[in-house]
C-alpha cells in the first residue's frame, strides 16, 4: 500500500468564495479560473502555438477534472466533462494566501496559523535595515532593484548592471517572498546560496514565507535563469503529513520543490530537476518505491513558465504533456496504491497582472473507486492520504475516502 500525492502547481478551477479579497494588478480575482479559461481559449482557436484545437486531457478528465471544474465554478469546460472513473472533488483553501507555502502546508494538514508578511508595492520595497544586512553578508556596497517585479524582467532591467557592480538583485512579488538573483559565474552560485541561507532567518522572523535564490547565467540581452534555484522556507510550526508518515515508519520521497517548501521536515529522499526529469523520477518511484511510502511531488512549470508569463498556449501544452505522461503512469500503479492529483492555488494565464489567482483546486483520485467527494478542504487531502496509509492524522482535515 503506497500513496502518491501530486501537485500540479497553479492548476486552479475557479470558484473560490473569497476571491474578491485577493487582487491582481489592482483588480479582484473574482471569476479567475485557470482550467476553464485555458479550455475556452483552446476551443476558440486562441492557443495554437505548438498545439491545436480543443484542450485534450483524456486521462485527467476520466479521473474527474471537468466535473471538478463544474463543481467548483458552475461551468463545464469545453472538451472536458467525461463520466469520471475516479474519485473526484473540489478543494477550498482556508489559509489567508494564494502562494506556494500556504497551499502546500494546508494540503499537508496544516492551515497557516498566522498572516504572512508582504512587502509593499513601492520603491523601495524593503526596509533599509534589511538591505544593509544583505550588503553586509554579501560584502557589497549596495543592492539593485529593491522593488516588485517578475524575475525575467528583473534580469532584463538589472542584469547588466549586476555584472558591472557585483551587487545582488533583490526583488519580491505579491507572494510573501524575498528573492535574490545573481550570476552563477561572476557572483558565484555558492556565494548566492550562502547569502540567502544566512539572511533567511531574519526574514522568517518577520513572517516572510520564503527567501529564494535565483541564479542566472549569460550576457547582456541573453540572460537565462538556471535550474539551481533554492527556496529557504519557514519550517512548519507543527508536524505535517510528511512527519506523520515518517514517524509511522514509512519512507517519504519529495519530488521537485517539496523539500524546499517543508524545509526537509519529514522527508527521507529528495528528487529534483525540471518537470520532465521529475516525471521520470515519479515513474521510477511508481515502479520501485516500498510499501507504506509516500511520494509527494510538485510540478512547478505550469506556474513558473506559463501562468506568471500569461502564456495560454504554453500552459495548454504543459497540461496535455502531463496528461499523456499520466496515461503511462496509471497502468503501473499497484492494486492497493492511491494516486491523488491536486493543486496549491491558481494562476489563470488569461487574467490581469502576473500573480497567482485565488481559486479552488481539483482533487482527483485513482485507486479508490469512482464517485464524487464533493466540496472538501485542502487539509482533507492530508487526512485522506493518511487514512489510505493507515497513519494517524493530527491535522485539521477529515478523510473523504
9 assigned to a ligand binding site: yes
Cell numbers linked to 186: 561572476
Burial call 199-229: b when 16+ CB within 10 Å, e when fewer: bbebbbeeebbbbbbbbbebeeeebebeeeb
388 assigned to a ligand binding site: no
Q: Which of 262, 266, 282 is nearest to 391 (CA)?
A: 266
Q: How many CB atoms lie within 10 A of CB 315?
A: 31
Provide CB contacts within 8 A for 172, sequence distance 6+: 119, 125, 126, 147, 148, 178, 179
356 assigned to a ligand binding site: yes
> Using an 8 Å Cβ cutoff, are 169 and 145 in contact?
yes
Provide CB contacts within 8 A for 239, sequence distance 6+: 247, 265, 266, 394
- The span from the CA of 160 to the CA of 118, in Å, is 28
**From residue 66, how far is each of 103, 373, 401 by CA, in Å?**
22, 14, 20
> DSSP letter string over 142-160?
--EEEEE--HHHHHHHHHH
308 assigned to a ligand binding site: yes
Provide CB contacts within 8 A for 136, sequence distance 6+: none
CA 398 to chain CA mean position, Å: 23
- The span from the CA of 175 to the CA of 33, in Å, is 19
Q: How many CB atoms lie within 10 A of CB 190?
A: 9
- Which residues carry a binding-site annotation for Mn(2+)? 9, 303, 308, 344-345, 356
- Which residues carry a binding-site annotation? 9, 303, 308, 344-345, 356
Amino acid at each position: 500500500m503506497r500513496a502518491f500525492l501530486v501537485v500540479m502547481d497553479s492548476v486552479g478551477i475557479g470558484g473560490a468564495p473569497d476571491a474578491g479579497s485577493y487582487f491582481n494588478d489592482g483588480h479582484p480575482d473574482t471569476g479567475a479560473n485557470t482550467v476553464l479559461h485555458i479550455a475556452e481559449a483552446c476551443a476558440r482557436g486562441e492557443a495554437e502555438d505548438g498545439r491545436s484545437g480543443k484542450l485534450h486531457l483524456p486521462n485527467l478528465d476520466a479521473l474527474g477534472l471537468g466535473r471538478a471544474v463544474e463543481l467548483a465554478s458552475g461551468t463545464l469546460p469545453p472538451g472536458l466533462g467525461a463520466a469520471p472513473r475516479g474519485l473526484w472533488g473540489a478543494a477550498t483553501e482556508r489559509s489567508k494566501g494564494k502562494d506556494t507555502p500556504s497551499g502546500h502546508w494546508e494540503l499537508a494538514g496544516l492551515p497557516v496559523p498566522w498572516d504572512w508578511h508582504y512587502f509593499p508595492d513601492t520603491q523601495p520595497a524593503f526596509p533599509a535595515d534589511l538591505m544593509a544586512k544583505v550588503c553586509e553578508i554579501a560584502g557589497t556596497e549596495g543592492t539593485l532593484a529593491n522593488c516588485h517585479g517578475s524575475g525575467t524582467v528583473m534580469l532584463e532591467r538589472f542584469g547588466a548592471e549586476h555584472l558591472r557592480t557585483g551587487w545582488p538583485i533583490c526583488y519580491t512579488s505579491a507572494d510573501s517572498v524575498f528573492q535574490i538573483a545573481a550570476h552563477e559565474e561572476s557572483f558565484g552560485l555558492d556565494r548566492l546560496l550562502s547569502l540567502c541561507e544566512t539572511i533567511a532567518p531574519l526574514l522568517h522572523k518577520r513572517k516572510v514565507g520564503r527567501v529564494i535564490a535565483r541564479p542566472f547565467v549569460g550576457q547582456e540581452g541573453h540572460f537565462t535563469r538556471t535550474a539551481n534555484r533554492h527556496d529557504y522556507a519557514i519550517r512548519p510550526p507543527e508536524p505535517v503529513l510528511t512527519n506523520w508518515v515518517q514517524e509511522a515508519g514509512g519512507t517519504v520521497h519529495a519530488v521537485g520543490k517539496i523539500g524546499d517548501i517543508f524545509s526537509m521536515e519529514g522527508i527521507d529522499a529528495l528528487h529534483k530537476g525540471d518537470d520532465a526529469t521529475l516525471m521520470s523520477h515519479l515513474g521510477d518511484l511508481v515502479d520501485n518505491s516500498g510499501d507504506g511510502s509516500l511520494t509527494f511531488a510538485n510540478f512547478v512549470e505550469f506556474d513558473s513558465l506559463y501562468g506568471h508569463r500569461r502564456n495560454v498556449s504554453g500552459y495548454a501544452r504543459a497540461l496535455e504533456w502531463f496528461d499523456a505522461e499520466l496515461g503511462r503512469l496509471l497502468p503501473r500503479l499497484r492494486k492497493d496504491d492511491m494516486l491523488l492529483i491536486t493543486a496549491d492555488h491558481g494562476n489563470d494565464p488569461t487574467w490581469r497582472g502576473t500573480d497567482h489567482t485565488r481559486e479552488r483546486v481539483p482533487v482527483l483520485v485513482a485507486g479508490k473507486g469512482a464517485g464524487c467527494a464533493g466540496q472538501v478542504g485542502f487539509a482533507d487531502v492530508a487526512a485522506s492520504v493518511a487514512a489510505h496509509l493507515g497513519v494517524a492524522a493530527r491535522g485539521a482535515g477529515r478523510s473523504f475516502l
